[in-house]
Amino acid sequence: MIDHTHNPAALSWVASANEEGSEFPLQNLPYGLFRRAGSNENARVGIAIGDQILDTKIAAAAGKWSSAVSVLLQPLADGDLNAFMAQPAAQRRLLRHALFEALSAGSPQEAALRAALLPQAQAQMAVPCRIGDYTDFYTGIHHATTVGKLFRPDNPLLPNYKWVPIGYHGRSSSIGVSGGTVRRPLGQLKSPDAEVPGFSACKRLDYELELGAFVAAGNALGEPIPMAQADEHLFGLTLLNDWSARDVQAWEYQPLGPFLAKNFGSTISPWIVSMEALEPFRIAFEHPASDPQPLPYLDSAKNRAEGGYDIELEVWLQTESMRAKGEPATRLMRSNFRHAYWTLAQMLTHHASNGCNLQPGDLLGTGTLSGPDAAEGGSLLELSMGGKQDLRLPNGETRKFLQDGDTVILRGYAQREGARRIGFGDCSATIVAAPALS
């Protein structure tokens, strides 16, 4: 699926898109939902290009488009990304090609579309689509093993892990967009030496470094999605921080798994990077020869050849003290999506394998994406070894878990020789104090 829209030499008439290290070059063109900051106008879908946003409402009216492209632009202009997500993959590629050509250097559309640009700094971003359902998987085997050792030293990785993509049903209503706040939750806690639990503010608040995959066209109830069709049902990726109350989690997670420790808040980055933009970063995927191999319904030649993605992921932290002193955020870790134990196609296929009907805009979280080294842990639970050791920051502060006022920033990008770097934009949120106990 590599085509002219991936040509690394292609430049845009939007100058900032051509700058070295730009998150949003011409080869990216991710989708987001926005309105002009301070306005009451209806939100519409925008396309990130350099440090600008192409307003599809203005572009649809001002540009010169084929009738087929005009039809595809209309739901975006109306702010209904879900309706566009539901289009067949060929139609989604048609619009990508049209936008690429319209924003390319020398395009005859330049004069008409300049008025459709808005600086990103002047936009108020929103959750990019209606997220009907949210499922969080557990595909980070290094995270699963490390956390398993903390909770179950004698049996860290349960036997089903290497056979089935494990997941749980999350809560879509508490998903927010980057730049907001997350309130420290109240919860039922029980320390190991206590006879009975208590109810108080979470003391072990944590982040989780994840990617989120948005579903494109769905499937009818009772009709599975085979591996051969899985890619057609994936729309794009975003960064996802699945905030976790570790002390609440430790007390409540058995026997039915995550509940209040997870559903109080999740944060996503505002831009959805399309699967088409990520085509150059596909990589081979396989389980170690000594591990169980995927069952036939989760296996395909294409998935083995290019089911993985080479996406670098980072977590940054800026404490309240750092912010007050004008000190920048510090990077806590770096890992890569290549370390995931299951692919996006396997996640989606397994989810629908029992006939579960996925819908456009549904969100699939990957689970925490840690690397094989201890310094590549995708959560403070791992970096602090369950709170047993301090993580020392450059300004002398220490952390085992998050404190009020801390801002956590997830960053991600895909890059390789012979391709333009594709970024996701920041996924950030700041912790605020728990509500008062009544």
Same domain, 138 and 87: no
Q: What average pLDDT does the segment 344-350 reach? A: 98
Contact of 97 with 89, CB cutoff 8 Å: no
Is 139 annotated to bind ligand?
no
- Which of 80, 107, 126 corresponds to the end of one domain? 126
Asked if residue 11 and residue 104 are part of one domain, the reply reads: yes
pLDDT tens, position by position, 160-177: 999 999 999 999 999 999
Average pLDDT of span 59-86: 98
Q: What pLDDT does residue 229 have?
A: 97
Residues 339 and 413 in one domain: yes
DSSP state of 431: E
Q: What is the DSSP letter of 178?
A: T
Reported as a pLDDT band with limits 50, 70 and 90, residue 42 is very high
The stretch 275-294 carries a mean pLDDT of: 97
Q: Tell me the residue range of the domain where 286 lies.
A: 134-432
Q: Same domain, yes or no, for 208 and 300? A: yes
Q: Is 313 helix (H, G, I), strand (E, B) or coil?
A: strand
Domain containing 44 — which CATH number? 2.30.30.230
pLDDT at 150: 85
| 413 is known to lie in a ligand binding site | no
Contact 222, 355 (CB under 8 A): yes
DSSP string, 56-78: HHHHHHHS---HHHHHHHHHHHT
Annotated binding residue at 390? no
Q: What's the domain count of the chain?
A: 2
Matching residue, tokens 């939100």: 43
Looking at the domain assignment, is residue 254 inside a domain?
yes
pLDDT of residue 142: 95
Q: Which residues are catalytic?
A: 143
Structural domain includes residue 176: yes
Calpha distance 315→75 (Å, rounded): 34
pTM as predicted: 0.97
Give the pLDDT of residue 95.
98
**Quick one: pLDDT at residue 201?**
97
- 387 & 352 share domain: yes
The answer on 301 and 360 residing in a single domain is yes
Tell me if 184 sits within 8 A of 432, measured CB to CB: yes
pLDDT at 54 over 90: yes
Tell me what pLDDT residue 256 has.
86
The reply to whether 357 and 232 lie within a common domain is yes
Task: Tell me which residue of 17, 173, 192 sits closest to 102, measured CA to CA.
Answer: 17
DSSP state of 12: B
- Tokens found for residue 174: 């508490």
Whether residues 210 and 354 fall in one domain: yes
| 438: in domain | no
State the average pLDDT over residues 250-272: 93
- What are the tens digits of pLDDT across the range 407-425? 999 999 999 999 999 999 9
pLDDT for 366 beyond 90: yes
Residue 253 known to bind ligand: yes
Say what the pLDDT of residue 151 is.
77
pLDDT at 156: 84
Where does residue 348 fall: left (phi above 0), alpha (psi -120 to 50 degrees), or beta otherwise?
alpha
122 and 140 both lie in a single domain = no
Q: pLDDT at residue 438 above 80?
A: no
What is the reported pLDDT for 418?
Answer: 95
**Are residues 145 and 11 part of one domain?**
no
Averaged confidence pLDDT in the chain: 97
CA distance 11 to 18: 6
The response to whether 247 counts as a known ligand-binding position is no
Tokens at 377, concatenated: 């842990």
437 part of a folded domain: no
Tell me, what's the pLDDT at 337? 98
Q: Is 368 annotated as a binding residue?
A: yes
Residue 297 labelled as part of a binding site:
no
Residue 171 in marked binding region: no
Sorting pLDDT into bands at 50, 70 and 90, what band is 430?
very high
Last residue of a domain, one of 77, 102, 126: 126
249 is in an annotated binding site: yes
Residues 40 and 103 placed together within one structural domain of the fold: yes
Residue 208 assigned as binding residue: yes
**Does 120 share its domain with 192?**
no
Q: Flag whether pLDDT at 158 surpasses 90.
A: no
